[in-house]
Structure 1
Amino acid sequence: MLLPSDTFEPSNGERFQFGYTQHGHWLRFHLLVPNKASLGTDSLHLALHVTNPYLERVETFLSRAGGLQTLPGPGPGRTLSFPMNLAAGDSAAVLVHIPYSRFPLEFKLALEKLEAGRNVRRSEEIILIVFFCLWFVYLLQLGLAIRITRLRYFWNYFAYVFLVGCFAFADLGLGRQLLWGHTPYLQQLALPFFTNAYLVFGVYFVQAHFQTLRRYPVHDQVLKLMRIMALGLLPVALFLPAVPLALAHFFSYLHTVLYILTCVALFWLAATALRRGDPRSPGLLLIGFLVHGLSILYTLLEWLRIVPPVSWSSSLAAQGIVFTLHTPLVLLLGLLIEMGVILYIGIRQFRLMLSDMENMARVLAEQKQQQMNALVLGMETEQKRIARELHDGLGGSLAALKFKLEHLLANGNDAALQEKRLAEAILDITALQEELRTIAHNLMPKPLYKLGLVPAVEQVLQRFRRLNPRLEIHFFHNVDLQELDELPKIYLFRVVQELLTNLHKHSKATEAWLQFVRSDGLLLITLEDNGQGFQPERALSQRKGMGLANIRYRVEEALGGRFTIESTPGSGTLVSIQIPLKVLRNGKQHLYSAAAEEAPQIHDPLKRLKQLLRRWRALR
């Protein structure tokens, strides 16, 4: 095999960039081995490394005076390595044939002594072990932190870091060395698949972190378009090794342009957020992504042959240190910096979230205390009302009855007068009994325990209709409330009773509609009237709104429901209550026990006195 000298062009450096090409390339360099006196040994053992794990079928030949020798092919290692032995004083030409690639053709060519190379390989292995140990520990800490902090959008960043590690694993040749060395198809699809996948999750994370849909709608549309395009390229990447070369180059070119535009869009978003003073650390995010992003951006521009190839390893090679890592060291360093910065941002976000939660807990505690105060004041008001009714009503009537009975005993000889006084006493006792029944009913109606919530509400409605005949109340229900737990039943009855009391006292309405409706697992209670209306916020903030505060406390705190009031002066009122039916039927731990609202056991001594007086009159 003879190749004319004008076939080759001189080249400096060990890194080669040919871009998108549909044919292979030949490389040639000459070796001149010193004599035995200078070399100190009979032979020289060398290794030629081609550092691109995506290349296939690389061929290497050694041309000497004795003829052309084909060097043995590389094994499944991180790099394509070709060992060669040269005698002291020997000279030879090395020919390397690099076939076409489905990606931009780029690689590094390194020649080193085997003994010296072993030390460098150990250093490389230490670097890789440290990098992937840090990556693995970082993933564990990140996952644990997300579980604790519940910053769910950080799972996108977790997936991003995981896929970046998978990409580095494949790009460094470790996948070829350890997993799929005999399956080139997997190595060929690893680059486009992992890069597109981590691009998708990275954009997802940035959009969620900066809330671009609400804060930066233009940037959000651009990033959304990039993400959709990357998602569309993912399934294509699975079949890329099998498609024709021209189509593979088109896909790779499209992927490269998409990646460049995405990097520019991310820098644009971070700069805009920084200019607007966004509190979500855009400056730190920009710093963290700077090294990684610029490294990727420059590498992609190299692929397009827009900028000249630059590599740290070239400077190290000039000093005799040959690194065979395909992934740029700057990129690996940028990934570590980015992970550290994002971890700091996550910790900072968690601290801000804790501060917000503490403030919210303090506000909720104050609201709960206000609601408890309202409940206690409401109970005190109710007790005062009952005491006033007992003192002014039953107390006065009992005193009058006592006076009549004493007068009856003092005039025991007048039978006609005794008969008249006894009849009056029985009528008074009947009135007292009715008044006592009314008070007892207000405390806890018997139908609530015996028949259920709906009959108890209907009885309350009848009483209010008698008190205000001009107010017409319509009642509709389509839900079975027979299986309610006792405590929720009491809560609901108290709520409806308080609503109807407010309707009777304050609304000045002529018509009202009360509904119990079941919808989507909820019990909906509404009370609407055509009264004078009021200002709910003002009523709730004042002392006279204690009844409404008690209703809200029972509905929202005790039953886990929702209580809303829609009203304006002059346009009536609509009260809406939504409570999950499972809470009403399956029970729930409430804020105060059922004993606080159990019906008191009221014995009726007046009924017993009435019976005794009738017996005494019968005996007389």
Structure 2
Amino acid sequence: MNIKYLSLFLLSFICLFGKAQMQPQVSIGLFEDQSASLSTDRIQDLYQKGKFTTLSSPSFNPGYTESIFWLAIKPEALPIGKEWLLTVDNSHVNILDYYHSDSLGNLKLLYQTGDFFLFKQRPYPEFTNFAFPLQKTGGLYFLKVDKRKESLQAPMRIISYRDLAETNMNANLINGLLSGIIIMMIFFSLVLWISTRKRLYLYYGLYITALLLWIWSNKGLGFEYLWPNSSFFPSRARPVMLLLNIIFSIQFLQLFIGQTKKSYLYYPNKVLQLVGFVFLLLILYPAPYENSVVTVKYAQNILTIIASLQSLLIIASAVEQIWKGVKEAKFYLAAILVLALSGLAEQLYMYGSIMLNYYVAQFALLGGLAVEAAILLYGLAQKFNRYRKERETLLFEKSEQQKILTHTIVDVQEKERKMFADRLHDEIGSMLSVIGIHLSALKKNTPLPPANHQDKLQQADEMLGQVADTVRTMSHQISPVTIEKLGFVKALENLVQTVNKSEKLYVELVCMGFEQIDNYPSNYLNNIYRIIQELLQNMIKHAEATNGIIQLIEHDDVVVIMAEDNGKGLTQERLENPSGSGMNSIFSKVDYLQGKIEIETPGNGTLINIEIPNQNIQTAINE
């Protein structure tokens, strides 16, 4: 996606419809009713006395006001042969009363409309903005403009019905194109969210959607197409969408540029987000508009302050992350600047400060949003590609680690097999050979004294007992069958008792949990048993400890094994490479169970802490 070419395309498309439409020179007078109480007769009288000020251009922008404004339009200069209209290119005037005064001074109310009334109540509901009929002959027209306790900008045009219809058709085409592009990008972000389950893409969609709805509300498109039968929401739509935009934009910003709690701007952004949410609830409170907080000047000032703070915090946050070398922050800053410049141009047009082509003025902000959304989506795509590459690298590294782990497990198993083979050959084999010698001596015909005969039988019997004990011990080491016969905890207790009987080491066992082990895989319990078994062997063989404690604790999400002894501990070299200190088998089993191990040598002795994910949870879920 080439953002430069997309921007040029959108600008060229908008300007394609930009032929200038010459407006007839019609006299428009303006009078401000500061008391907001003058009657129509009084207004006519003031007009006759010349109290109306003639506008130099068809626009007036008082800003925040508590007055009612009256416009007097003299249609005498209109060319004959066309159906002429007066349009107000601001879709958010609360009340508009349109009067006609004939040659005798009789004043008649023709239309009453505004965003306090249903959309279908407009004189020409086929147009988004307000349009009122003008006839060349037959007196004078008065337009009462009431937007008290709000900010008022009223750019106007004198235009023929045919030209307005053409303009409206072109505007709908541009709006459909730009909105379609934006909606496509929102849909693409939702696809990314569904495929990755990363909240970043969801908040991108929510942020761009809130911005799009705010622009639609600002242009009156929301009133025309989304809530045409509401008299409550149209006057609240713009602040509601603005606040939703603030809330979602902060969330998206922090995820997109990676702003964490370490940033000085993280909590100010969160506070502003909370303030925006509270103010949103106040605006949506179902009170009459005249009594609602949104009608007071202070509420509008608060909205202005919130929006200004948001802009400053966004720019500061982006600059902060750019300084740290975050590439996404550059995309974000570029996108925000495009939208800001577009909004500034449109706002200056609304205030009458600059003259723009009608289409550029009407769709600068929507076009800016399309470019902003494209820039951000391009940044998201780059981020997604990096995420995919990092994931592939991680999977490759994990695969390599798994290979190493598999080799380690195989090596450990081979060493264990060799150890068992050596014990079978050296211990059991030698004892069986001695037993065979004794039995052979008994078979010979050489007479033996009864005492010698009895001694040889007793020695053979004792050695057979040793063979049986050794075979039992080795079988337990190969496969802890006592877990199946006695249960997991009892098997551990028997293991510790066996160690304590040797009188070389006294170990205390503390076991918390494991009352219900039915959901545990047998391999999982066997590996934990093996780990504890090898910890005990290390205490005896390597640590040369005399006292130790083994704690086994079952938590909801993790199983903890803590082993502590008073042995000679580990040297610094062994502490830096503990897997080479006779603990290879333990490390391989912990890695196999996806756990982690920590070793400390606080003076004398060793403290080993092992945390293994509780597979009881996953088993229960799978079932």
State TM-score, norm by structure 1. 0.81
> Does residue 387 in structure 1 map to residue 445 in structure 2?
no
Alignment match, 2:163: 116
Aligned to 1:373: 407
| Aligned pair partner of 2:198 in 151, 157, 161 | 151
- Whether the 8 Å contact between 1:267 and 1:286 is mirrored in structure 2 is yes
Deviation at 1:20, TM superposition (A): 1.0
Task: Name the SS of the counterpart of 1:13 in structure 2.
Answer: coil
The one-character-per-residue Cα deviations of 1:78-113 (angstroms, maximum 9, x if unpaired) are 211112333xxx585443221234421112211111
Contact 1:60/1:71 (<8 A) preserved: yes
Total equivalences in the alignment: 560
State the match for 1:604 in structure 2.
none
Contact 2:510 2:551 (8 Å CA) reproduced: yes
Partner of 2:199: helix, strand, or coil?
coil
Percent of counterpart pairs with the same letter? 19
- Determine if contact 2:345/2:364 at 8 Å carries over to the other structure: no
Q: Deviations over 1:127-185 (max 9, x none)?
A: 12223322322221111112223331332222211222222222222233234445332
Aligned equivalents of 1:107 and 1:537: distance in 2? 78
Distance in 2, matches of 1:59 and 1:128, equals 29
Provide closer, same or farther for how the CA distance between residues 485 and 228 of structure 1 changes in structure 2, counting only shifts above 3 A. closer
Residue 80, structure 1, aligned to residue 116, structure 2: no
1:178-212 Cα offsets, whole Å, 9 max, x none, are 34445332111111111111111112221232333
**Structure-2 residue corresponding to 1:401:** 435
Deviation at 1:372, TM superposition (A): 1.6
Q: Which residue of 2 aligns with 1:211?
A: 258
Given the alignment of the two structures, is residue 7 of structure 1 paired with residue 43 of structure 2, yes or no? no
Within the alignment, does 1:106 sit opposite 2:153 as a pair? yes
Residues 265 and 421 of structure 1: CA distance in aligned 2, closer, same or farther (over 3 Å):
closer
Per-residue CA distance 1:364-419 (angstroms, 9 max, x = gap): 22222222222111111111111111111122233333344444444356675766
Measured after TM superposition, the shift of residue 490 of structure 1 is 1.8
Q: 1:493 to 1:477 in 2, by over 3 A?
A: same
Structure 1 stretch displaced more, 21-30 or 137-146: 21-30
Please report how far the alpha carbon of residue 21 of structure 1 lies from its aligned counterpart in structure 2 after TM superposition.
1.0
Compared CA separation, residues 32 and 301, structure 1 to 2 (3 A): closer
CA contact (8 A) 2:504 2:540 kept: no
One-letter identity of the residue aligned with 1:220 = Y
Taking a change above 3 Å as real, the CA distance of residues 586 and 106 of structure 1, as seen in their structure-2 partners, is closer
Structure 2 CA distance for aligned equivalents of residues 419 and 373 of structure 1: 53
Distance 1:245 1:451, change over 3 A: closer
Whole-angstrom CA distance in 2 between matches of 1:220 and 1:141: 28
- Residue 194 of structure 1 is matched in structure 2 by 241
- Give matches, 1:180-191, under 5 Å: 180-191=227-238
- Report the alpha carbon displacement of residue 445 of structure 1 after superposing the two structures with TM: 4.5
In the alignment, is residue 174 of structure 1 matched against residue 218 of structure 2?
no
Larger radius of gyration: 1
Q: Mark the CA change 1:279 to 1:21 in structure 2 (over 3 Å): closer, same or farther.
A: same
- Following the alignment from structure 1 to structure 2, what is the Cα–Cα distance between the partners of residues 587 and 563? 26
Partners of 2:318 and 2:333 within 8 A in 1 = yes
Cα distance in 1 for partners of 2:382, 2:368 equals 21
Deviation of 1:562 after TM superposition, in Å, equals 4.6
| 1:618 alignment counterpart | none
Pairing of 1:392-541 with structure 2 (within 5 A): 392-411=426-445, 421-467=456-502, 469-479=503-513, 480=515, 483=518, 484-520=520-556, 522-534=558-570, 538-541=576-579
Residue type of the alignment partner of 2:311 = C
In the superposition, relative to structure 1, how do residues 278 and 55 fare at CA in structure 2: closer, same or farther (>3 Å)?
A: same
1:21 aligns with 2:65: yes
Q: Distance in 1 between matches of 2:618 and 2:243?
A: 50
Letter in 1 for 2:529: F
Separation in 2, partners of 1:351, 1:72: 61
Structure 1 CA distance, aligned partners of 2:428 and 2:200? 66
> AA paired with 2:377?
L
Do the aligned partners of 1:20 and 1:104 also contact (CA within 8 Å) in 2?
yes
For 1:570, what is the secondary structure of its paired residue? Answer: coil
* Equivalent position amino acid for 1:284 in 2: F
3-state SS of paired residue (1:27): strand
Quote the residue 1:161 is aligned against.
208
2:375 matched to 1:344?
no
Question: Cα gap change, 1:266/1:489 in structure 2, threshold over 3 Å: closer, same or farther?
Answer: closer
Does the aligned pair in 2 maintain the 1:562–1:579 contact within 8 Å? no
Aligned residue runs from structure 1 range 356-371, under 5 A: 356-371=390-405
| 1:569-602 deviation line (CA, Å, top 9, x unaligned) | 634323334442625975989xxxxxxxxxxxxx
In the TM superposition, residue 443 of structure 1 has moved relative to its aligned partner by 2.3
Secondary structure of 2:98's counterpart equals strand
State the match for 1:309 in structure 2: 352
For 2:276, which of 230, 233, 236 is the aligned residue?
230
8 A contact 1:209–1:280 mirrored in 2: no
- Aligned residue in 2 for 1:550: 588
| Counterparts in 2 of 1:411 and 1:424: CA distance versus 1, 3 Å | farther
Q: Are 2:96 and 1:58 aligned?
A: yes
Compare 575-584 and 149-158 and name the one that shifted more: 575-584
Q: Using a 3 Å threshold, how does the CA distance of structure 1 residues 287 and 422 change in structure 2: closer, same or farther?
A: closer
RMSD of aligned C-alpha atoms? 3.2
On the 8 A contact 1:47/1:81 being kept in 2, the answer is yes
**Preserved CA contact (<8 Å) 1:411 1:418:** no
| Contact 1:532–1:571 (8 Å) recurs in 2 | yes
* TM-score (ref. length: structure 2): 0.81
CA distance in 2, matches of 1:366, 1:331: 52
SS in 2 for 1:7: coil
Aligned letter for 1:230?
Answer: G
Partner of 2:132, secondary structure, is strand
Matched residues in 2 for 1:370 and 1:587: separation?
30
**Can you give the 5+ residue segments of structure 2 that lack an aligned partner in the other structure?**
1-43, 112-121
Q: Deviations over 1:539-573 (max 9, x none)?
A: 4453743122233134x33xxx5544333563432
Residues 382, 243 of structure 1: CA spacing in aligned structure 2 closer, same or farther, 3 A cutoff?
A: same
The residue type paired with residue 370 of structure 1 is I
Contact 1:143 1:158 in 2 (8 A): yes
- Residues 454-473 of structure 1 show CA distances to partners (whole Å, capped at 9, x for unaligned) of 22222222222233x24221
Q: Which amino acid aligns with 1:309?
A: G
Q: Which runs of 5+ in 1 are unaligned?
A: 317-321, 590-620
CA deviations 1:413-466 (Å, max 9, x no partner) are 667576665554444434333333333333235422211122222222222223
Q: Distance in 1 between matches of 2:418 and 2:280?
A: 74
Separation in 2, partners of 1:515, 1:565: 15
Partner of 2:388: 354
Whole-Å separation in 1 of the counterparts to 2:366 and 2:474: 81
Q: AA paired with 2:58?
A: E
Secondary structure of residue in 1 paired with 2:212: helix
Q: Which secondary structure state, in structure 1, belongs to the residue aligned with residue 508 of structure 2?
A: strand
Residues 587, 252 of structure 1: CA spacing in aligned structure 2 closer, same or farther, 3 A cutoff? closer
| 1:203-235 deviations in Å (ceiling 9; x for gaps) | 222123233344531x23433343233223212
Q: Partner residue of 1:136?
A: 183
Equivalent residues of 1:30, 1:92 under 8 A apart: yes
